[in-house]
Amino acid sequence: MVLTSNEQSVKEKFFPKLARVLANVPYAEDLVAAYYCAFDKTTPLRAKGILIGALAYFILPVDVVPDFILGLGFTDDMAVLLAAFNVVRTHVTQSHRDKARDTLERLRRGEPVSA
């Protein structure tokens, strides 16, 4: 199943990539909240699928605007995430946002974070 493959890729590659590019991602809190929402057992399958797709796009090494282009590299990733958020925003809870904030604080301190 495609969703299962994407789920596995996101679980394995999301936090390592985020740790590498954190300083360049202005929407990091939304990105991590989307991650926690996507893997929350109470999130409906349709919302999970949309979020997993957006997160998979973030971890792809090649996309429309390569991530290494200073100032523009993450704009396409942000557009995909915002489009996904607009569809599933009611499923992203305060709990997801709180966990995202805590996770980002740990990443900024250099602490390891995993799925």
Which tens digits make up the pLDDT trace of 63-82? Answer: 545 554 555 555 667 777 77
Residue 114 lies in a domain: no
For 65, residues 6+ apart whose C-beta sits below 8 A from its C-beta are 72, 73, 74, 75, 76
Domain count, the chain: 1
Residue 14 lies in a domain: yes
Higher pLDDT, 114 or 28: 28
What pTM does this model have?
Answer: 0.78
Q: Residue 30 sits in which domain range?
A: 2-108
- Yes or no: say if 45 and 25 are a contact pair by the CB < 8 Å rule: no
Which tens digits make up the pLDDT trace of 4-47? Answer: 778 888 898 888 888 877 766 778 898 899 999 999 999 999 99
Residue 64 lies in a domain: yes
